[in-house]
Amino acid sequence: MLYERYSSVMYPVCVRYLGREEARDVLQDGFLTVFDKIGTFKGEGSFEGWMRKIFVNASLMHLRKADALRYTEDITESPELGGVMEHGVMEQIGTKEILDLVAQLPSGLRSVFNLFVLDGYSHAEVGAILGITEQSSRSQASRARSLLQEKIKKLYNGKH
């Protein structure tokens, strides 16, 4: 069954865009859209990739409705934070913890970071999706990366 097969794959996608609480609602909406539009899948690319796009869209729509993306484009500066990440740190952090740390980023930065770094969109595409400039997308991705590295280091230092 489609739901049983893919719910555990799509849930983390929603979590990194929205956090665990809101991911639940979007997971439901996303599956409704999948069932509704499944006839439009033309077999181009993987089915999982097609589904992932639907859940990414559903997550972004949820953020837009909550007005969480409205001020995304206001941030154009990207002060560097945290310095350089040491090798070996990432191996000490669990995947679930990384997922939660990504979800803790501010919503605007989180969306840019997810789209660019994790879902493979170009800055031009991220700009078109979120309605911001390409430069703003670059700046926000950089800022989000620095914030995330800072959080990872804090978690790592807490463990050791």
Partner 1 sequence: MENIEFDKILRDRLEGVTEAAPDVWEGISQGLARRHRRVVMRRFSMAAVAAAAGLAIALLVIRDPRDGKLPETPVRTAHALQQEQPAAETPAVDVLPIQKQIAAFTRNQVTAQAVVEKPADMAVVPPMVSEEETVATAETAETAETPETPAAEEVRDQETQPSQDHLLTEADLPAGFWTAEDEAISRKTHTSNISILSNLTTVGSDNDLIYKASPMHSSSQTGNRASSMVEPYSDSPKFFSPLSLGLQVEIPIVDRLSVSTGLTYSYLVSQYDMLVDKVLYEGAYNQLHYVGIPLTLSYRFVETPHFGFYVSAGAAAEKCVSQRYVFGSNVLHEKVGGLQWSAKAGLGAEYWFVPRFGLYFDPSLVYFFDNSQPFSIRTQQPLQARFEVGLRFKI
Cα angle: 137, vertex 121, 148; to 5 degrees: 60
Question: Does 10 sit near partner 1 (CB under 8 A)?
Answer: yes
Q: How far is the CB of 109 from partner 1 (least distance, A)?
A: 14
Choosing from 78, 81, 98, 153, the residue that interacts with partner 1 (CB under 8 A) is: 98
Classify the phi-psi angles of 46: left when phi > 0, otherwise alpha if psi is within -120 to 50, otherwise beta.
Answer: beta
Tokens of 157: 């230092």
Choosing from 18, 103, 126, 155, the residue that interacts with partner 1 (CB under 8 A) is: 126
Interface characters, 105-124, with partner 1 (x: CB under 8 A): ----------x-xx--x---
Q: How far is the CB of 158 from partner 1 (least distance, A)?
A: 19
Q: How far is the CB of 77 from partner 1 (least distance, A)?
A: 17
Q: How far is the CB of 24 from partner 1 (least distance, A)?
A: 5
Integer CA distances (angstroms), 5 to 1, 51, 96, 136, in order = 6, 12, 20, 37
Interatomic CA distance for residues 93 and 156, integer angstroms: 7
Nearest C-alpha neighbor of 91 from the set 11, 159, 20: 159
How many CB atoms within 10 Å of residue 132?
A: 23
Give the interface with partner 1 as residue ranges (CB under 8 A).
3, 7-12, 15-16, 24, 27-29, 31-33, 35-37, 53-54, 56-58, 60-61, 64-65, 67, 70, 84-87, 89-90, 95-96, 98-99, 102, 115, 117-118, 121, 125-126, 128-129, 131, 142, 145, 148-149
